[in-house]
Amino acid sequence: MALQDKYAELLQTATTLGVANLASTEQEGVLHVSGTANSTADYDALWALYAKIDPNMASGDLMMNIDIKADAGAQLKVTTDSTNLNIRSTPSTEGEIIGKAAHDEVVTLVEKTDDSWWKIKTADGEEGYAFAQYLSPL
């Protein structure tokens, strides 16, 4: 089975969600998919679909590089279920908790450190790293 066929549902979903600059190329037995999702919800939906198609991502035949649309200065909403979002001194769960952002609070993106951790600033001026999964562009 061609990798484009194996991951057809993922590619179609990315198109339906409006992933910008969507590209997919197959090289040496690996399908490389890239683009920019409009929200963390869309990003999470694509990763969940990948996990459904290839449980535990065991086959190693997909390299997905999907960014989330947000630039420095962008306003982000904290999208935790109902709890506060920890703001840490370093981009790691090992980093000291130096502040918190409330559920539904709006914060400002300082920088995208990597796909998992973004540096943010609260309205009160607290600045540090938060897990990007709980931040959505407005």
38 has a pLDDT exceeding 90: no
User: Hey, what CATH topology would domain 75-137 get?
Assistant: SH3 type barrels. (2.30.30)
Look at residue 1 and tell me whether its pLDDT is greater than 70.
Answer: no
CATH 3.40.50 fits 3-68, yes or no: no
Measure the CA–CA gap between 88 and 76, rounded to whole angstroms. Answer: 17
Tens digit of each residue's pLDDT (9 = 90 or more) over 41-92: 788 899 999 999 999 888 899 999 888 887 888 899 999 988 999 999 999 9
CA 43 remoteness from chain centre = 5
pTM of the model: 0.64
> Structure tokens of 134?
């709980």
The reply to whether 3-68 and 75-137 are identical in fold is no
Contact (Cβ atoms closer than 8 angstroms) between residue 54 and residue 61: yes
% of the chain at pLDDT higher than 90: 71
Helix axes 40-53, 8-16, angle to 10 degrees: 170
What percent of the chain has a predicted confidence (pLDDT) above 70? Answer: 99
pLDDT of 40 strictly over 80 = no
3-class DSSP string for the chain: CCHHHHCHHHHHHHHHCCCEEEEEEEECCEEEEEEEECCHHHHHHHHHHHHHHCHHHCCCCEEEEEEECCCCCCEEEECCCCCCEEEECCCCCCCCEEEEECCCCEEEEEEECCCCEEEEECCCCCEEEEEHHHEEEC
More confident residue, 30 or 71: 30
Average pLDDT of the residues of the chain? 91
Sorted by where each begins, the domain ranges of the chain are 3-68, 75-137
